[in-house]
Amino acid sequence: MEDLASVSWPPEPIRTERLVLRASEARDRAAFVELLASPEVHAYLGGPRARAELERELPAVPERWPGSFVVELDGAMIGQLLLRRATGHRRPAAAGKADLGYLFLPRAWGHGYATEACAAALDWLADALPGEPVVLTTQSANAGSMRLAAKLGFTEVERFEAWGSEQWLGMRGPLAPSGRAPQGSCSAGVIPRRERGGR
């Protein structure tokens, strides 16, 4: 995985009905520790990182790279969206394509925030890199992620075995703005930490 080197970054904050999407800042560090150390968040992502290690090793401004959006609700971070280049993806259908991933704090689940944020980020990508299809990989057992992928218009390309479980690879066509996309596909990256560009 590589960042979206060719986009202009950081972007102007993106405002949706309830949320703001923006590049990370120093004030997000505690929320990043919480997010990356959460067993619930990483139940289908190869397990969490140790809190002490995160406290020690995360930079003052974590995860500030082109394509990494902090999702903010009422002034506080509730999640992260990751739009990356799937360089070296093990499935040829996904290799080199734009790839969507999403991580939200458990207290923010069940309100439609992930759907709202991902739709806005996909619209942003459609403007930044017109005509790009987007891929998403998630464990098929990750029911919330599978529902989100379907809502965003991702459709199944294939299922495959990796990291000891069935993975679902979805793709969303280049028809751009999420609201106008046909019922298609969108999926999130379940690449193990060591393969996720330093995550």
Ligand X SMILES: CC(C)(COP(=O)(O)OP(=O)(O)OC[C@H]1O[C@@H](n2cnc3c(N)ncnc32)[C@H](O)[C@@H]1OP(=O)(O)O)[C@@H](O)C(=O)NCCC(=O)NCCS
Footprint of ligand X (CB under 6 A):
41, 44-45, 101-104, 109-115, 138, 142, 144-145, 147-148, 151, 188-190
Shortest Å distance, C-beta 146 to ligand X: 9
Shortest Å distance, C-beta 192 to ligand X: 12
Shortest Å distance, C-beta 92 to ligand X: 21
Percent helix / strand / coil, the chain, rounded to 5: 25, 30, 45
- Of the two residues 32 and 44, which places its CB atom closer to ligand X in the complex? 44
Using CB positions, name the residue nearest to ligand X. Answer: 112
- Of the two residues 123 and 130, which places its CB atom closer to ligand X in the complex? 123
- Of the two residues 56 and 183, which places its CB atom closer to ligand X in the complex? 183
Question: Tokens 């999640």 label which residue?
Answer: 79
Beta-strand pair 68-73/165-172: unpaired
**Which amino acid is located at 151 in the chain?**
K
- Of the two residues 9 and 109, which places its CB atom closer to ligand X in the complex? 109
Shortest Å distance, C-beta 143 to ligand X: 8
Angle subtended by helix axes 143-151 and 113-128, to nearest 10: 50
- 27 Cβ partners below 8 Å, 6+ apart? none
- Of the two residues 27 and 111, which places its CB atom closer to ligand X in the complex? 111
What beta strand segments (E) does 12-154 contain? Answer: 14-15, 19-22, 68-73, 76-85, 98-104, 134-139
Tokens of 71: 């999702």
- 15 Cβ partners below 8 Å, 6+ apart? none
Shortest Å distance, C-beta 8 to ligand X: 25
**Which amino acid is located at 162 in the chain?**
A
